[in-house]
Amino acid sequence: MDYRNKSLEDIEKFWAEEAKGIPWFKHWEKTLVWDEPFAKWFQGGTTNASYACLDVHLATEKKNQVAYYWEDEFGNTRTYSYLQLHAEVNKFASALKKLGVKKGDIVMMYLPMIPELPIAMLATTRLGAAHSIVFSGFSSQALADRIIDTEAKVLVTADFGLRRGKYIDLKTIADAAVKLCPTIKNVVVVKRGPAGQEIKMEPGRDVYYHDVLKTADTYVECEQVEASNPLYVLYTSGTTGKPKGIVHCTGGYMVYAKSTFKWVFNPAPDSIYWCTADIGWVTGHTYIVYAPLAAGVTSFMFEGSPDYPGIDRWWELIAKYKISIFYTSPTALRMFMKFGAAPILKHDLSSLKLLGSVGEPINPEVWTWYFETIGKNRCPIVDTWWQTETGGILISPAPGGELVPLKPGSATMPLPGIDAAVVDDTGKEVENGTRGFLVIRKPWPGMLMTIHKDPERYKQVYWSRFKGIYLAGDYAIKDTDGYFWLLGRADETLKVAGHRLGTAEIESAAVSMPFVAEAAVVGVPDPMKGEEIVLFAILRQGNEPTEENRKKLSAGIRTLIGPIAVPKEIHFVGKLPKTRSGKIMRRILKALATNTGIGDVTTLEDATSVAEIQKTYEEMKAQMGKK
């Protein structure tokens, strides 16, 4: 506690000390320039993320240490030492340079979980350019929307991805996206599909990764970039239909990534670390690539599903690679819980020392199961709360700093340098034990710089509700011991199996179908996925609420966003409950979806008459065939 409180007395002094953890070509002049709400950390300093992750280790004993072990679903393996990874990154950086990539550019990546993804990221940052990665489960339209926003000239993709033993034709999806994106001049394709399976390559535009390496130089000098140089743009869902391009900088982000990794995961020189996230999401960016590499840790990277070919696949891998630090999501844990302990007991998990959880609230039962069944009552669990916007973990137990007693279901306390609080509608701190909005009251080095091309939206979304205070968008309770309990989103954002989706995004996909007039989405609790999507739609005249239309609507959403956004239930209704000002009353929809009754509607702000709501509710219920 003292350590934490002390760090907040003078955050600049505190972070200036932490910044010594990464290499700088030129020392910064000012630790923080706070032009509210725009932060410039380590102004005047120059660094490079690729240098901080790779070159820095080459003069040490880490040079020949493994950076990544990698395995795919078929059991194919690859291993890269820091030296080998450095060599691969340099070659690909040279290839990208020859394709014209330079500082100020954004390189798009649409890749499965193969080593070429971190290689491409580090090659891009080596040149001082930024990357923008699109999760390979997103559709071509979602990929195209993001490419259009970044105006990228180069896309790196693969011929195939792998999912449950089947090859997914990524290149065809990428081609459909690129067709809509005139800025793309080159598509670099990593060949990893089955031998002999050729894909279509567009002459003059598409080049194979292995071909461009043939003419590449073996070394490329790192671009010495200012601390605020964008490292990446990662799109995430918000409360409108348009995803937000979250921009992270180089210097502050790298400092934050490395320090938080050290505090939370407490790596030892012989640790083998496995984060099961996909690099397409922020957890993979920070805690598969930048943080563990900057910390010089050995990681394991897996391309595959947790339950394929067997439900014990992950536990087999933990035993095989002697994983000591394991970082996963509550959704995965809930699935394993369902299958019982037998598949786990088959494997020797004695190498495990620390367990982590991320992405959604972990319920105390799941926490306890994780602690007992996986950790055998001897591994601390770090329940890590953070967001795409925060760059790294903000609230979590910190075994590498000062470990407080754990409470199942609580992410415990803010990390050093993080001034988190729970406030009411007016921004006033609530009494301990009361629910409120989670806010961060002081800037931190990992924070987003802005929303790509939309600084106004950045100001409005995060900083307008409470002046000078970052609004996280989550509900939380701080208990009387000062522990934080994260209670899920306070806005129209969903967390489905840990994936962040906006209700507005799904609604706008639905209404873009010619037969849909209006749509409303709500998240309903799901015992496995945390939340599930339920969609209510009003059909345009002349269309019937048939199974066929339901299927067409699902397929449409799949095409526009991706399989993760497909609703669990679709209800065709005659009207939607709305306030006088036309706002959809999601509370009513939630009640309908969960069949729980609407409760007290008199408190609904700006509501139509109570009788009217009640009537709409009853009508809709009847239409849905619910009693």
Nearer to ligand WTA, 28 or 470 (CB): 470
Nearer to ligand WTA, 42 or 385 (CB): 385
Judged on CB neighbours under 10 Å (0-12, 13-18, 19+), 429 is middle
Helix (H, G, I), strand (E, B) or coil at 123: helix
Radius of gyration of the chain (CA): 24
Among 93, 227, 411, 557, binds ligand WTA (CB under 6 A): 411
Site membership for ligand WTA, residue 383 (CB under 6 A): yes
Residue 494: phi, psi to the nearest 5? -110, 155
Residue ranges in 405-544 assigned as alpha helix (H):
455-458, 503-511
- Of 257-265, 412-420, 470-478, 585-593, the segment contacting ligand WTA by CB under 6 A is 470-478
Site membership for ligand WTA, residue 360 (CB under 6 A): yes
Whole-number Å distance between alpha carbons of 145 and 13:
41
> What number of residues does the chain have?
627
Residue 369: phi, psi to the nearest 5? -65, -45
Site membership for ligand WTA, residue 328 (CB under 6 A): no
Site membership for ligand WTA, residue 422 (CB under 6 A): no
Among 500, 529, 578, 586, binds ligand WTA (CB under 6 A): 500
In whole angstroms, how close is the CB of 161 to ligand WTA at the nearest point? 21
In whole angstroms, how close is the CB of 472 to ligand WTA at the nearest point? 6
Query: Is residue 550 left, alpha or beta, with left meaning phi > 0 and alpha meaning psi from -120 to 50?
Result: alpha
Site membership for ligand WTA, residue 331 (CB under 6 A): no
In whole angstroms, how close is the CB of 494 to ligand WTA at the nearest point? 10
In whole angstroms, how far apart are CA 475 and each of 113, 366, 410, 429? 32, 20, 13, 13
Among 132, 384, 410, 503, binds ligand WTA (CB under 6 A): 384
Whole-number Å distance between alpha carbons of 518 and 145:
22
- Of 266-274, 280-288, 301-309, 414-422, the segment contacting ligand WTA by CB under 6 A is 280-288
Site membership for ligand WTA, residue 354 (CB under 6 A): no
Site membership for ligand WTA, residue 474 (CB under 6 A): yes
Among 181, 294, 297, 486, binds ligand WTA (CB under 6 A): 486
In whole angstroms, how close is the CB of 281 to ligand WTA at the nearest point? 6
In whole angstroms, how close is the CB of 90 to ligand WTA at the nearest point? 30
Site membership for ligand WTA, residue 367 (CB under 6 A): no
Site membership for ligand WTA, residue 359 (CB under 6 A): yes
> Quick check: 141 and 562 in contact, CB under 8 A?
no
The residue count for binding ligand WTA (CB under 6 A) is 24
Nearer to ligand WTA, 442 or 495 (CB): 495
Pick from 305, 406, 311: which is nearest to 354 by CA? 406
Query: Would you list the DSSP string of 483-504?
Result: -EEEEEESSSEEEETTEEEEHH
Site membership for ligand WTA, residue 258 (CB under 6 A): no
- Of 112-120, 144-152, 154-162, 466-474, the segment contacting ligand WTA by CB under 6 A is 466-474
In whole angstroms, how far apart are CA 541 and each of 291, 507, 510, 514, 518? 54, 19, 16, 11, 12
Amino acid at 404: V
Of 217-256, binders to ligand WTA (CB under 6 A) are: 236
Where do contacts with ligand WTA occur on this chain (CB under 6 A)?
Answer: 236, 281-283, 357-361, 383-388, 411, 472-474, 486, 488-489, 495, 500
